[in-house]
Chains A and B, each alone.
Chain A
Amino acid sequence: MDVVDLARLQFAVTATLHFLFVAFTLGMVTVVAVLQTRALRTSDPTERAARMRRVRFWGGLYVINYALGIVSGLTQEFQFGMNWSGLSHVLGNVVGAPMAVETVVAFFLESTFLGLWAFGFGRVSARTHLLLIWGVALTAYASTFWIMVVNGFLQKPVGYAMHDGVARVTDWSALLTNGATWYALLHLTGVVALLAGVVMCAVSSYHLRHGRDLDFFRPALVHGSRLAGAGAVVTAGAGMVHLETLEEYQPEKYAVVMGESGAGLERAQEAARAAYGPGDWLPPAWVGVASVLMLLLGLVLLVLVWLPAKAGRAEGASTGRFRLRLPMVLLPMTIVALVCGWLSREVGRQPWMVTGELTVRDAIGDVSAGGMLASLIAFTLVLGGLSVVNFSLIAHYARQGPDGGLLGDDDLFPDAGPRDDSRPGGDPAPDETARVTSY
């Protein structure tokens, strides 16, 4: 492995881990925001308490996950400079600004909102607390948009001109309306809903199989299943449209991804040679396998994710044994499809960093192989270890059920106050001063 392979492997490992957390974050924050909105829409205190219990449970899983979303995002941000300084030299003017907007506009605000929300139960007024979770959701999607503007540019560069080997933006609106960005965003919106829905199904069906908290988890199973179904429809629909457009702006990728062989591939290779000169311009053939796997899993999921809903409505749990086990299979399938999707998009872009403009090899910084290996090992160990801790914690809290949820844990959320779900967010309790002094 040379230094380029090591840098790519490092990016692949950290980006894939980052995206696993991010996808769940994006899906779940939407669910939590909707749940909290529903809780506030009722004025009946018992009903409101019951609904806030849902916010605390799913919100608790979301918050654990969020921690690793941040931590893995930090490694992403730093490795651009550490490993890919060729990118900032040639394309800094183009990709730097959207990335800056992302970090400042989105994360800076998002993390501040999230902190206020997570620690603000019982501290800020109910209405403000609801606005905060919507603030988190909007800024999370905004950050996704800006990062996908960059990624879309790598796939299909638009709206720029080269001067002395340095790219300059000539037309921001072309960058912001890039099809390679928008089709992917739509596809991702479906993917995150699908993932959040499947996770809801998996957690709910676990408790239903054990006959616990039926009133809490039956509706959750139905909602999760429907959310996943809607997500799958959007995913597949956007994916099909996306596939059509790929042929036009990344014909070499399209040829490999569609599993063409022999003459078809040769034709794509010839066309690329005519455009870029002699060389091998096709991505590695195994990308085709990843793509087909994603497609197949997508079609299977499109059918199967609707099934668990029925077990949530059935009164006799025994009739739903199969349906209650199904989510345990759907969850790994979704995750595999998700990773395969990124592999086909990103490896399918090879050998280009920016299609037709900059190769991966030219984008690498002046780093020794030893230095690259060191960062690969360090990041993989730290992030891998923390991810294991994180997944075990999520599993632990998911199994604990509604009242073991993290957001009910006064210890982790010192300022959350004693649980009193009739006051979601809640105006500070009359006895607040007394409570605060008792620390």
Chain B
Amino acid sequence: MDVFWYSLVGVLLAGYLALESIDFGVGMLLPFSGDEASRARMRRLVVPLFLANEVWLVACVGLLFGALPVLEGALLQALRLPVLALVCAWLLRDAALWFRQAHPGSGWRRVWDSVLPVSSFVLAAGWGAVLGAMVRGLSTRAGGHPVVDPIDLVHPLPLVCAASAVAACLCQGALFAARGLPADGTAARRAARLNRVASPVVLGLLVLVGGVAAAVVDAPARVAAVAGGAALCVAGSILLARAGRATPALVLGSAPLWALPLLVGVAHGTTVLATRSGAGDLTLGEAVADGESLWLLSVTVLPVLVAVVAVQWWFWRVFARVRPAVAAA
């Protein structure tokens, strides 16, 4: 049962990363989309969606607090500075999407047009680096507490994880733009070309992630298998995109993102907060809430999660429709 709650937290994080890969990608691509009209159109593609996407992380942290309270405290404290940067980037990203069009001034738009790509990049790279550092295992502070040192974030593993996350988000953003913009426009053509060029790069980076991770963790076979599986998904995504089937291509293309939490899981099993030295490790048994609390969560949270997934499905159907011109092509 404990494993169930831990996995559910992981699934919510994976869902967040997979869905937001599109928003991060579109955000990063905004400066390259040409004139004001195309930038406004790019933003429109994700504006109705990002709110429903980001709440997956809200739910993830909430459930973490409810089901694994000790892990929540230890983890957020160990990752305090990167989390601070990520939360600030998140707030600014949201503001840029909400507020860009709320005022007619061109200076006003210029400000948000630079905030959006920078914050989207920080989010994509930051999540990649933080999760990469967790796959490798954290450092240990003097008192035996786990902590992520700035130096932990520039080790090759977090770096390739960050690079593959950014590249994968760019691919997703480009594919989503190509799918949603008028098919005959230059913007859509350019986005489709970017997706074609960048997808093989993602594939290469995933192979690197698998190789580096296998070299530094205790479970090389399992991490290599996850990275390999993600690479297969990306290969599938490339083929589907070539065949003009953008929606399933997007689903498979999110693999490099959801693979990151999965890598943390398979690398350390039930050691939910792992350090390289082993001092300060936290096991699932120590971290999980007691039965009364889990009972409350089972009767309230589980049914609602099912309902939310259904409502979100509806949401995507209403707001992420392919433009008819593209559907016909």
Residues of A at the B interface (CB closer than 8 Å) are 64, 67, 70-71, 74-75, 77-78, 80-82, 84-89, 92-94, 96-105, 107-109, 111-116, 119-120, 123-124, 168-170, 172, 365-367, 371, 374-375, 378-379, 382-383, 386, 389, 393, 396, 406, 409, 411-412, 414-415, 433, 436-437, 439
Chain A residues whose CB sits within 8 angstroms of the CB of B321 once the complex forms: 436
Query: What is the interface of chain B, defined by CB distance below 8 A to chain A?
Result: 40-41, 44, 47-49, 51-52, 55-56, 58-59, 61-67, 69-70, 72-77, 80-81, 83-84, 87-88, 90-92, 94-95, 98-99, 101-103, 143, 145, 182, 289-290, 292-294, 296-297, 300-301, 304-305, 307-308, 311-312, 314-315, 318-319, 321, 323-325
Q: Is the CB of A375 within 8 A of B94?
A: no
Given the interface contacts A67-B94, A81-B65, A108-B55, does A437 sit within 8 Å of B325 by beta carbon?
A: yes
Closest 10 pairs (CB-CB, A-B): A92-B69, A100-B66, A103-B62, A81-B76, A85-B73, A88-B73, A96-B69, A414-B44, A97-B293, A119-B48
Q: Cβ of B72 and Cβ of A74 under 8 Å apart?
A: no
Q: List 19 A-B contacts (CB under 8 A).
A: A75-B91, A81-B72, A86-B73, A96-B65, A97-B293, A104-B59, A108-B59, A109-B311, A112-B51, A115-B315, A115-B319, A123-B319, A124-B318, A375-B84, A379-B88, A406-B102, A411-B40, A412-B47, A414-B48
A113 vs B65: C-alpha distance when bound (angstroms): 24
Q: Is the CB of B102 within 8 A of A103?
A: no
Residue pair A386, B91 in contact (C-beta under 8 Å): yes
Partner of A119, one of B92, B99, B101, B319: B319
Q: Is the beta-carbon distance between B145 and A366 smaller than 8 angstroms?
A: yes
Return the contact of B48 from the options A86, A108, A382, A415 (Cβ within 8 A): A415
Which of A70, A74, A98, A365 is in CB contact (< 8 Å) with B73? A365
Q: Are B58 and A107 in contact (CB under 8 A)?
A: yes
Decide: A74 and B75 in contact? CB cutoff 8 A.
no
Instruction: Choose one: B87, B103, B312; the contact of A396 (CB below 8 Å).
Output: B103
Among residues of B, the one whose C-beta sits closest to the C-beta of A70 is B94
Which A residues are CB-close (under 8 A) to B102?
A: 64, 393, 406, 409, 412
Is chain B's interface secondary structure helix, strand, loop, or mixed overall?
helix
Considering the chains assembled together, what is the distance between the CA atoms of A221 and B269 in angstroms? 61
Evaluate contact between B94 and A92: CB separation under 8 angstroms. Answer: no
Q: Which residues of A contact B145 (CB under 8 A)?
A: 366
Contact A97 B296 (CB under 8 A): yes
Residues of A within 8 A of B63 (CB): 100, 103-104
Instruction: Give complex CA distance A170, B292 in Å.
Output: 7
Q: Specify which chain A residues have a CB less than 8 angstroms from the CB of B76 in the assembled complex.
A: 78, 80-82, 85
When chains A and B are docked, how far (Å) is the Cα of A77 from the Cα of B91?
13
B324 contacts A436, C-beta separation under 8 Å: yes
Cα distance A433–B73 in the bound complex, in angstroms: 51
- Determine whether the beta carbon of A103 is less than 8 Å from that of B58: yes
Question: How far apart are the CA atoms of A168 and B291 in the complex, in Å?
Answer: 9
Q: How far is the CA of A379 from the CA of B52 in the complex (A)?
A: 24
Q: Which of A64, A97, A379 touches B289 (beta carbons < 8 Å)?
A: A97
Contact assessment for B94 and A99 in the assembled complex, using a CB-CB cutoff below 8 Å: no
Residue of A nearest to B80 (CB): A82
Q: Which residues of B contact A406 (CB under 8 A)?
A: 102
Q: A96-B66, A382-B91, A439-B182 are in contact. Are A108 and B304 (CB under 8 A)?
A: yes
Which of B83, B88, B308 sits near A382, CB closer than 8 Å?
A: B88
- CA distance in complex: A386, B41 (Å): 24
A80 and B323 alpha carbons, distance in the complex (Å): 43
Which residues of A sit under 8 angstroms from B289, Cβ to Cβ?
A: 92-93, 96-97
Given contacts A85-B74, A96-B289, A436-B323, 8 further A-B contacts (CB under 8 A): A80-B73, A82-B77, A104-B59, A108-B59, A366-B143, A379-B88, A389-B95, A433-B324
